[in-house]
């Protein structure tokens, strides 16, 4: 047992962190929120070149294989930098299509069409499964819509509905053609949902880490009553609690990734536990970040708003904490 | 990154499991916070020691098995899952022993450790004083030089099970003229039945007489019982405190087993039980699993040659809050039976959660209060400026 990231995994995280830090993500996120997708797509291409989407695509479709642990490492970094776009939905679509492809001809054709493009960063997919809205359908090349044991593919959608996080653009997918029908669709959707949950949990974790770091920096530098805010105990204790929540969520997230990688029977439960804990930790940290920044934290101008507004939707996407707890209890 | 266990680790777990299955008393022992229960638990320590299960991580020469930290975590999981008795020797094993391994002499280790491992000598921690709790460094009890050793004077308090224990370890002010309160302290061991020691039991919140107050009046301690350098007691004590807060005082196995027990209680809850309680049961399962994995990661870091620094403060806040939430949820699930003390005839039928609950209430207080731990986390792990204390 060696429950530590390998040197390779840490190096991958550092490289992504450096690349994203130099890529003007906040500007791309603001443009994305305004419906201007060009800078976001350019960012997408860089993320693909770094190998991230290939981690969800098997080698026979020009990917690196489904590697949940490395994918988790990557999504922590995407969360840390508040990258916009349906990144989770794209990797979950890849997992879905791959499973479907194994099950029969209809799926195999779709997998052959989309998986190499996903790995290369040429295709942005959205996935709606059990929710009325698709994320970023207006930016996606296609939306997969799972309803019961049927999956449709469409590129039509209703008007974009403004959302709490303007960089998460929600709309109803419309029409489309049936790709496949049958129990294999439900099975592939369950697998995709676990991967989406895992990637979302990792994003929440990274988002929380970034919010905590920014807030620690702020309270060291901002003075009131002639001393730094960070010397007040009430301030310290909120930040200590945020750190504790993140530190304890992190091993759950990596253990869930290992369970998914091993195809363990416990994977669904472990992923749900990780999602509940990481989602709450990211959100609690966002609340703390906002509170300790005071009014400046409440302004849109401050880039921190990009992170703060993401925390709640990420906590609830692909399974609210309540749904995840129910999954944990179900055993 | 790997959560699989080696063949040796599996074998160790299996051996522990089958030994426990053959030895854990069928009927729970009386509370170790009473005289009768203390004696019964001391016997249990002897049983553990006879087959070398009392101190598995210690070197074989001192009665251990030279087990790794991971093996110890597995042993603890098995121990608690088997419902084995609480450890009356824990203050010695988890606080004094690590201090002796780090700061003691060979002679001290050879003399002190084997009878500690066998339960023949049970140790109490004599740190707190009436005027020195969170601000431990303000302690006033003194150690004064005398030929061949030291004379102890003063008062210690809240010493767990000192009413029944054999010996104690604690900090004393050996140099009253230093600039800072953390200087001029000396770490010493002394017998609780020595001339000059008066032990006064104090009832706890649950009425059990297991706390004690110690009055020390010219108690002689030979030089051989000073741990580390005289005057360096604070440094010695802080290495003990890291153990107290961290893994080794409260292993994750304790909470994974309790969370499983709670989940079982939930599954048999009567129809009409508030489903919202299920969420709290799930949180206990998630929290216990998180702490278990956090400990695996810490054990992995230690095995890779890193040290933990102030991280044990995270453990302390985590396990104390988890324990309390878990027991509060159990009491609520029990409804009217949640009010029964464990001495009630009908308590065992409902799973006996009361003593655990009362003890959990103390978790945020002992081993350094959670307020003090949050200060340490903020200042040492997040780098925030020191404030007024
Ligand atoms: C069950 C139990 C077993 C114990 N066993 C032992 C033992 O075996 N040996 C031993 O030596 N001691 C033992 N103790 C004592 C324990 O170590 C002390 O209770 C603890 O250190 C706190 O000290 P205090 O009780 O004097 O509280 P105080 O220090 O008076 O604190 C009271 C409250 O004020 C808060 N507070 C104090 N200072 C600050 C600050 N700077 N900022 C914010 N809040 C603050 C505390 O967090 C606490 O909530 C035990 C205690 C319990 C409850």
pLDDT of residue B248: 75
Q: Which has more confidence, A103 or B213?
A: B213
CATH code of the region B123-231: 2.40.110.10
Answer yes or no: are the C-beta atoms of A205 and A250 closer than 8 Å.
yes
- CA atoms of B104 and B122, how far apart (whole Å): 18
Report CA(B256)–ligand 1 centroid distance (Å).
27
Q: What is the mean pLDDT of residues B233-249?
A: 78
- CA atoms of A170 and A135, how far apart (whole Å): 5
Residue B126 Cα: closest atom of ligand 1: 11
Transcribe A228-279 into DSSP letters: EGGGSHHHHHHHHHHHHHHHHHHHHHHHHHHHHHTT-TTHHHHHHHHHHHHH
| Ligand 1 in reach of B183 Cβ (< 6 A) | no
Inside any domain, residue A235: yes
What residue ranges of chain A have pLDDT lower than 50?
none
Inside any domain, residue A227: yes
Q: Can you list the positions of beta strands (E) in A132-187?
A: 134-135, 142-147, 150-154, 156-157, 170-171, 173-174, 177-181
Give how many domains chain A has, as a whole number. 1
Inside any domain, residue A196: yes
Q: What is the mean pLDDT of residues B246-252?
A: 82
Q: What is the mean pLDDT of residues B82-99?
A: 95
Token pair listed for B273 = 């039980």
- Report DSSP state, residue A161: B
Strands B167-173 and B123-126 come out as parallel
- Is the pLDDT at B200 greater than 70? The verdict is yes
Inside any domain, residue A297: yes
- CA atoms of B135 and B314, how far apart (whole Å): 20
- Is the pLDDT at B198 greater than 90? The verdict is yes
Transcribe B233-290 into DSSP letters: HHHHHHHHHHHHHSTTTS-HHHHHHHHHHHHHHHHTPPTT--THHHHHHHHHHHHHHH
Q: Counting runs of H as helices and runs of E as strands, what totals does chain B give?
A: 12, 8
Domain B7-87 part of CATH 1.10.540.10: yes
| Ligand 1 in reach of B159 Cβ (< 6 A) | yes
Reply yes or no on whether B213 is catalytic: no
- CA atoms of B117 and A5, how far apart (whole Å): 36
Answer yes or no: are the C-beta atoms of B214 and B158 closer than 8 Å.
no
- CA atoms of B107 and A310, how far apart (whole Å): 60
Q: What is the mean pLDDT of residues B44-51?
A: 98
pLDDT of residue B243: 66
Inside any domain, residue A110: no
> CATH 1.20.140.10 residue ranges in chain B?
250-382
Q: What is the mean pLDDT of residues B75-90?
A: 97
Q: Residue B145 — very low, low, confident or very high, per pLDDT cuts 50/70/90? A: very high
Q: Of 3.30.420.40, 1.20.140.10, 1.10.760.10, 3.40.50.10260, which CATH number belongs to B250-382?
A: 1.20.140.10
Q: What are residue B271's phi and psi, to 5 degrees?
A: -55, 145
pLDDT of residue A209: 98
Residue A199 to chain B, least CA–CA distance (Å): 17
Inside any domain, residue A277: yes
Q: Which of B87, B129, B154, B158 to mutate to test the pocket of ligand 1 (most atoms within 8 A of CB)?
A: B158
CATH code of residue A315: 1.20.140.10
Q: Counting runs of H as helices and runs of E as strands, what totals does chain A give?
A: 11, 10
pTM for this structure? 0.97
pLDDT tens sequence across A183-232: 999 999 999 999 999 999 999 999 999 999 999 999 999 999 999 999 99
**Which of 235-274 (B) contact A at CB < 8 A?**
263, 266
Residue B21 burial (CB count, 10 A): 10
Torsion of CA A165, A169, A172, A176, to 10 degrees: -150
> CATH 2.40.110.10 residue ranges in chain B?
123-231
- CA atoms of B165 and A257, how far apart (whole Å): 47
Inside any domain, residue A128: no
* Percent of chain B whose pLDDT exceeds 70: 99
- CA atoms of A82 and B145, how far apart (whole Å): 63
Q: What is the mean pLDDT of residues B236-251?
A: 77
Q: What is the mean pLDDT of residues B379-387?
A: 95
Indicate the range of A48-62, B291-305, B342-356 predicted with least confidence. Answer: B342-356
State which residues form the domain around A301: 187-330
Question: In degrees, to the nearest 5, what angle opens at C-alpha A184 toward C-alphas A178 and A190?
Answer: 100
Inside any domain, residue A54: no
Give the chain A residue whose CA is nearest to the CA of B379: A236
Q: What is the mean pLDDT of residues B97-115?
A: 96
**Which of 96-135 (B) contact A at CB < 8 A?**
none
Residue B115 to chain A, least CA–CA distance (Å): 33
Residue B369 Cα: closest atom of ligand 1: 47
**Which of 306-325 (B) contact A at CB < 8 A?**
314, 317-318
Q: Which of A231, A232, A233, A235 to mutate to test the pocket of ligand 1 (most atoms within 8 A of CB)?
A: A233
Catalytic-labelled residue, pool B213, B244, B311, B355: B244
- Is the pLDDT at B389 greater than 70? The verdict is no
- CA atoms of B327 and A152, how far apart (whole Å): 48
- CA atoms of A308 and A297, how far apart (whole Å): 9
- CA atoms of B26 and B20, how far apart (whole Å): 11
CB contact under 8 A, A230 and B378: yes
């Amino acid at each position: 047992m060696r429950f530590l990231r390998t040197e390779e995994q840490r190096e991958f995280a550092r490289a992504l962190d450096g690349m994203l830090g130099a890529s003007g993500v906040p500007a791309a996120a603001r443009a994305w929120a305004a419906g201007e997708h060009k800078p976001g797509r350019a960012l997408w291409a860089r993320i693909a070149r770094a190998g991230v989407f290939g981690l969800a695509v098997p080698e026979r479709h020009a990917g690196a294989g489904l590697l949940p642990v490395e994918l988790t490492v990557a999504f922590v970094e995407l969360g840390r930098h508040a990258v916009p776009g349906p990144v989770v939905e794209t990797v979950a679509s890849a997992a879905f299509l791959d499973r479907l492809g194994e099950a029969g001809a209809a799926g195999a054709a779709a997998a052959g069409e989309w998986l190499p493009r996903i790995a290369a960063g040429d295709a942005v997919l959205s996935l709606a499964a059990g929710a009325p809205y698709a994320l970023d359908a207006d930016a996606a090349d296609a939306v997969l819509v799972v309803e019961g044991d049927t999956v449709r593919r469409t590129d039509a959608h209703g008007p974009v509905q403004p959302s709490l996080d303007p960089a998460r653009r929600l709309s109803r997918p419309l029409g489309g053609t049936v790709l496949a029908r049958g129990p294999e669709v439900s099975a592939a959707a369950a697998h995709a949902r676990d991967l989406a949950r895992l990637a979302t949990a990792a994003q929440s974790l990274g988002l929380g880490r970034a919010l905590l770091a920014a807030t620690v920096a702020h309270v060291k530098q901002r003075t009131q009553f002639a001393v730094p805010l960070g010397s007040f105990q009430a301030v310290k204790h909120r930040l200590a609690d945020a750190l504790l929540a993140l530190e304890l969520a992190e091993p759950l997230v990596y253990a869930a990734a290992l369970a998914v990688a091993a195809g363990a029977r416990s994977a669904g439960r472990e992923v749900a536990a990780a999602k509940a804990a990481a989602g709450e930790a990211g959100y609690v940290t966002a609340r703390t970040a906002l509170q300790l920044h005071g009014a400046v934290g409440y302004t849109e101008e401050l880039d921190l708003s990009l992170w703060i507004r993401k925390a709640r939707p990420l906590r609830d996407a692909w399974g609210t904490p309540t749904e995840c707890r129910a999954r944990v209890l179900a055993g | 990154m790997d959560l699989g266990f080696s063949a040796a680790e599996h074998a160790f777990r299996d051996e522990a499991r089958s030994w426990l299955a053959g030895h854990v008393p069928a009927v729970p022992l009386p509370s170790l916070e009473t005289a009768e229960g203390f004696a019964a638990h001391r016997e249990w320590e002897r049983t553990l020691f006879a087959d070398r299960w009392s101190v598995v991580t210690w070197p074989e020469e001192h009665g251990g098995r030279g087990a790794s930290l991971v093996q110890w975590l597995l042993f603890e999981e098995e121990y608690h899952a088997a419902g084995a008795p609480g450890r009356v020797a824990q203050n010695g094993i988890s606080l004094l022993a690590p201090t002796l391994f780090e700061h003691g002499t060979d002679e001290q280790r050879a003399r002190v450790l084997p009878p500690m491992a066998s339960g023949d000598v049970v140790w109490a921690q004599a740190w707190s004083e009436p005027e020195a709790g969170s601000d431990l460094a303000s302690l006033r009890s003194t150690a004064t030089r005398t030929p061949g050793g030291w004379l102890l004077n003063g008062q210690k308090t809240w010493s767990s099970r000192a009413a029944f224990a054999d010996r104690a370890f604690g900090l004393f002010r050996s140099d009253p003229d230093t600039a800072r309160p953390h200087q001029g302290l000396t770490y010493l061991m002394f017998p609780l039945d020595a001339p000059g020691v008066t032990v006064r039991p104090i009832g706890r919140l649950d009425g059990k007489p297991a706390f004690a107050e110690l009055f020390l009046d010219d108690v002689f301690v030979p030089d051989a019982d000073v741990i580390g350098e005289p005057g360096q007691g604070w440094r010695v004590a802080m290495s003990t405190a890291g153990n107290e807060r961290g893994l080794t005082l409260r292993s994750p196995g304790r909470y994974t087993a309790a969370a499983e027990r709670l989940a079982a209680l939930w599954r048999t809850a009567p129809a009409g039980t508030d489903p919202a309680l299920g969420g709290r049961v799930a949180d206990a399962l998630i929290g216990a699993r998180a702490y278990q994995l956090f400990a695996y990661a810490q054990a992995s870091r230690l095995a890779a040659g890193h040290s933990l620094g102030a991280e044990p403060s995270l453990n302390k806040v985590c396990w104390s809050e988890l324990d309390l939430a878990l027991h509060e949820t159990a009491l609520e699930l029990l409804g009217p039976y949640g009010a029964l003390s464990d001495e009630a005839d009908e308590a065992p039928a409902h799973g006996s959660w009361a003593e655990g609950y009362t003890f959990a209430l103390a978790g945020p207080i002992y081993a350094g209060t959670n307020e003090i731990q949050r200060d340490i986390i903020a200042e040492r792990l997040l780098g925030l400026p020191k404030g007024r204390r």
